[in-house]
Structure 1
Amino acid sequence: MVSDAGPGRHLPVFQALLITLGMVITTDILKTAPTVALNVGPEHFYLVWVLGGVASMIGALCFAEMATAFPHPGGDYHFLRTAYGERMGFLFAWSRFSVMHTGWIALSAFMFADYVNAVVPLGPYGSGLFAGAVIAALVLLNLAGKHIGFITQTLLVGLLALGFLSIASAGVFLAWQGIEAPAPSLAPVAENTGVAGFSAAMIFVFLAFGGWSDAATLSAEVRDDRRGIFIAMLGALSVLMAIYLALNWAFVEGLGFAGLAASNAPAVELLNRAFGAPGVLLILLMVGIAAIATINSTLLVGARTTYAAARDVPQLRSFGAWDDRHGVPRKALLAEGAVALLLVLFGSFTQSGFNTMVEYLTPVYWLFLSLSSVALIILRRRFPHVPRPVKVPWYPLLPLLFFGLCLYMLYSSVTVVGCGAFFGIAVLLVGAVILAVLSRLTPSPHPSPLPEGEGADRGVLGDTST
């Protein structure tokens, strides 16, 4: 049965925490740790990881306040639309649909396919076919029902966390055996120094912590409507920071700091030293699990943003239907999968889709994250009587601090990434053109403010089904 009723509160808090952890925990740390080490040196290495975790928690606090006050399957789409208007909300939803979410799905599928191709040759177009098959299988899995998709994600995250702990155990094993770290064959050369080095390091640290804002799309489905999403977001980031610190300690303990900075694959080298060939196979298995977990979690939250945005645009209303029988936004999920498959097809022919997508993902991400941090202040002023089960402490200092950080990271990402940032701008312009055409066809009504005393569960815009 398909309806406009939307999702219900079916998700236990602990499962929401694991799903959120799956949104943020990736194998990025296995590639970014050497770059961070190369840019900051041993005296500040652990500090930047702690700063990245704490800064992400500040941002998560801002999102938790908005998510508990205005729960909605659209997450930050809903916050931006309510704070800045429907046009900004549409552009954000368009960017997620056409770049951020679907692009990340394609990237993860290609990463998995490339690792498989290194073990079992797949042929010139085999990686693209394999990546497309993985995406299609996960779309079908999520179409089977919300419980299957969420349970799958919980199992994948559990396996991935165990994999990361096994890497950390390699460092413990080498330290227990008294095996000293080898000297690197080539001395690492710092890419940047001083403030430039710190800025470059933080870009890669935040890349490893990124994705926590997507958890806001679960705010209308967590059983504990008061603090459930707060526990999920802050709990996931706390676990993630502990895992990252343990991994980095293991890298330094097993390879030495200079060895880590000079390494192209620190986890492979560490596990190979500790456990031999089985350790290398473990890394390949982890990459596969991480890719599937990332694709699955992105499908879960991406389809919900598309569903929420489609409900607000008359011409796209068919994508805003909720399948009550399976508990998923069926058409929105199919649309997400279709665009991701088109990006896989594009990447198969260009053979450079991974790098290009990374370039334009980062600036667009920080642009909208900075707007979301200011949205908290706007929503407090515009709707002061809406109950807020979670409130950001030291308001407005922390939101403004996070806004300043977002602007700094936006500037750094543009200057470091370079011309790839213009692809994101081009996509936004395409979305603006589509918005102008849709506005001419059917002018949208202006949202009405939430009447004083209304329950927060309705959201700021009340019933959007009419």
Structure 2
Amino acid sequence: MAQELKRSLGVSDAVIVGLGSMVGAGVFVAMAPAAAAAGSGTLLLIGLGLAGFVAYCNAMASARLAARYPVSGGTYVYGRERLGPLWGYLAGWSFVVGKTASCAAMALTVGAYVWPDQAHAVAVAAVVALTAVNYRGVQKSAWLTRAIVAVVLAVLAAVVASCLVSSASDPARLAPGSAGDGPRSVLQAAGLLFFAFAGYARIATLGEEVRDPARTIRRAIPLALGIALVVYLCVAIAVLSVLGADGLGRSTAPLADAVRAAGSQWLVPVVSAGAAVAALGSLLALVLGVSRTTLAMARDGYLPRVLAAVHPRFHVPHRAELAVGAVVAVVAATVDVRGAIGFSSFGVLLYYALTNASAWTLGSYWRVVATLGLAGCLALAFSLPLSSVVAGAAVLAAGAAAYAVRDRVRISRERP
């Protein structure tokens, strides 16, 4: 009999875990490449709204499914139960691979702000440290995430105030730069920004550790998503008001550049520290989610069953966490931050496409929400840069091939 995890997270804990994964990634990492893709401030804000809408559809589908299946694994479990084993496996595969890239991107963001010349070494150290925190129990992770979110929101509030006071809200600066090709520019910007919204999935993948999941998950996911969207809109408008879309698109540290342009040089080190803390919060929550999906897939034999062990004292999937931490550390030592964002977005958008397909089976009302979410996910996924689409499709095909080989081996063993 599989060991169960301890239910210790309430609504506020679950909201904080979701915010820890969302707030930070979009502001400090994804907004600059999204601005470059959009070509203007107006299109960037439209893309942000579109990403938020698709995320809302996904969130509603995730909340409903998580309440019905309150176990670790997220859409891996939902796809398996509602669509069949292959689709559940592909969802889990897309999540683990895509979010491993996200983990590496967050770790490298920490390194870039803390010690740019040794970014890869700092990234690996951050992964090791946060894996150790997760190993001690999910409640300790939630407490640390709460502190991180408080620090990051305070820093972002200071950035917004500094930029808006300095710029006197000049609306003409919201739309400079080339207009791109209109709809495609908006879709590509939204696809890149979706990287920032995917954190609410952490609440669903922690379903086995949430108290009263039917009530808690349905409340926590929309709350976390709504707070994150308001924060993103405020920061985007403030930064655009001093940098414009062209300046934002060229920046490697947009918030630091924004406060510098606003004349608040004293805020630059504070913003750098806030960026590092935000990335740590995202990394902490990401490792939590990937390890829980790894646990669920190991329980079903799609990953080595040794990874399904739950620690008798800390009640966490300790072997899965150590394995995920080791893989992320290796990836963080070798990859590039911006390249990881598009790859991660493609994998996660396919994951949510399967979430919506699973929710479609729940009934008439959910079919409307799920259809919108499914169409939005596929449109954003295939509007991403070609390199991201090709790499993501190749990895998905490799996962499908591995499933086929495993299934063939299983059938041959069952024959007399």
TM-score, normalization by structure 2 = 0.88
> 1: CA distance between counterparts of 2:367 and 2:170?
49
Aligned residues: 412
> 1: CA distance between counterparts of 2:12 and 2:19?
11
Query: What residue number does 1:143 align with?
Result: 135
- Which letter does structure 1 place at the counterpart of 2:203? A
Query: What residue number does 1:132 align with?
Result: 124
Structure 2 unaligned spans of 5+: none
How far is the alpha carbon of 1:444 from its aligned partner?
A: 11
> 1: CA distance between counterparts of 2:375 and 2:172?
41
Query: What residue number does 1:60 align with?
Result: 59
Q: Which deviations, in whole Å up to 9, do the C-alpha atoms of 1:165-190 show, x marking residues without a partner?
A: 11112134336xx6979989xx9531
Contact 2:41 2:240 in 1 (8 A): no
Q: Which deviations, in whole Å up to 9, do the C-alpha atoms of 1:240-294 show, x marking residues without a partner?
A: 1111122123224444677656766442233224463321101210221122111
Q: Which deviations, in whole Å up to 9, do the C-alpha atoms of 1:146-178 show, x marking residues without a partner?
A: 222221112112211222111112134336xx6
Query: What residue number does 2:166 align with?
Result: 174
How far is the alpha carbon of 1:80 from its aligned partner?
A: 1.1
Matched, 1:438 2:406: yes
What does 1:1-40 align with in structure 2 at a 5 Å threshold? 4-30=2-28, 32-33=30-31, 39=38
- Which letter does structure 1 place at the counterpart of 2:201? S
Alignment partner of 2:281 out of 259, 280, 293: 293
Query: What residue number does 2:383 align with?
Result: 412
State the secondary structure of the residue aligned to 1:412.
coil
> 2: CA distance between counterparts of 1:180 and 1:394?
43
Contact 2:198 2:348 in 1 (8 A): no
Matched, 1:363 2:350: no
- Which letter does structure 2 place at the counterpart of 1:376? A
Contact 2:11 2:219 in 1 (8 A): yes
Query: What residue number does 1:195 align with?
Result: 183
Structure 1 unaligned spans of 5+: 382-392, 446-466
**Structure whose alpha-carbon radius of gyration is higher:** 1
- Which letter does structure 1 place at the counterpart of 2:130? L
Structure 1 234/106 Cα, relative in aligned 2: closer, same or farther at 3 Å?
A: same
Structure 1 444/239 Cα, relative in aligned 2: closer, same or farther at 3 Å?
A: farther
Contact 1:19 1:157 in 2 (8 A): no
Query: What residue number does 1:107 align with?
Result: 105
Q: Which deviations, in whole Å up to 9, do the C-alpha atoms of 1:422-456 show, x marking residues without a partner?
A: 332333333334334433444599xxxxxxxxxxx
Matched, 1:308 2:296: yes
- Which letter does structure 1 place at the counterpart of 2:343? Y
How far is the alpha carbon of 1:46 from its aligned partner?
A: 4.1
TM-score, normalization by structure 1 = 0.79
Query: What residue number does 1:457 align with?
Result: none
> 2: CA distance between counterparts of 1:155 and 1:428?
36
State the secondary structure of the residue aligned to 1:322.
coil
Contact 1:199 1:412 in 2 (8 A): yes
Alignment partner of 1:250 out of 238, 249, 268: 238
State the secondary structure of the residue aligned to 2:383.
helix
Contact 1:360 1:422 in 2 (8 A): no
Query: What residue number does 2:207 align with?
Result: 219
Alignment root-mean-square deviation, CA: 3.1
Structure 1 367/252 Cα, relative in aligned 2: closer, same or farther at 3 Å?
A: closer
Q: Which deviations, in whole Å up to 9, do the C-alpha atoms of 1:228-247 show, x marking residues without a partner?
A: 11211100111111111221
Deviates more, 1:133-142 or 1:313-322: 313-322
Q: Which structure has more helix as a fraction of its residues?
A: 2
Deviates more, 1:261-270 or 1:146-155: 261-270
Query: What residue number does 1:331 align with?
Result: 319
